[in-house]
Every structure is written in structure tokens, then in C-alpha cells.
Amino acid sequence: MPGLHHVASEVVVDPSMALGVFTNAFRVQERGSTCLLEFLVYSATEDRAVIVGRVPVRKAFLPVIRDQIAASLGANDSSAGRAISTSG
């Protein structure tokens, strides 16, 4: 993919982000040449999801994200979360 390459450099974790934020759902919103990845907490009881994080990325970067996730999982396991439709 043009313009994308593997970089093996040090990653520094901000102490305030060390634990991250719990999420069990996500959605992708298309916005021109970029996409907005939204991470959510979904409640089946309340039938609603709350956005807990947003990350804007270039569309060209999505295959890299997909491939890294697939490599980390080693298998297709969709039982641990939920994709939320982009309507609304």
C-alpha cells in the first residue's frame, strides 16, 4: 500500500491512559477521505450505546488496522463484542 510501512519504534504510554477505556462495541463513520472509528459501550438492557472514544484515520489505513487485528486474533472470533450500525 503506497505511503504505508512498518515502523518498529518505542511506544510511550501516557500514565493517564495506562488502563484505557472499556468498550464492547464499535462503528466506523465515513467522512470523505477519512473515517471516524468510534468505540462504544453497548447495553442490551437499555438498547443504547455510549461513545467512549473516537479516532479519526485515513481510509487507506483501515486495511492495516484490519490486518493487525486479524494477526492478533489468529482466528475469526466475533463473540466478544458488537458492531453498531452507522445510522443515527
Q: What is the pLDDT of residues 19-74, one digit of tens each?
A: 888 999 999 999 999 999 999 999 999 999 999 999 999 999 999 899 888 888 88
Question: Between 29 and 76, whose confidence is greater?
Answer: 29
Q: Kindly tell me if the per-residue pLDDT of 2 is higher than 60.
A: no
Distance from C-alpha of 79 to C-alpha of 60, rounded to nearest angstrom: 27
Distance from C-alpha of 15 to C-alpha of 57, rounded to nearest angstrom: 24
pLDDT for res 21: 87
> In sequence order, what are the residues at sequence separation of 6 or more whose Cβ sits closer than 8 angstroms to the Cβ of residue 52?
21, 22, 23, 39, 40, 41
Q: How confident is the model at residue 6 (pLDDT cuts 50, 70, 90)?
A: confident
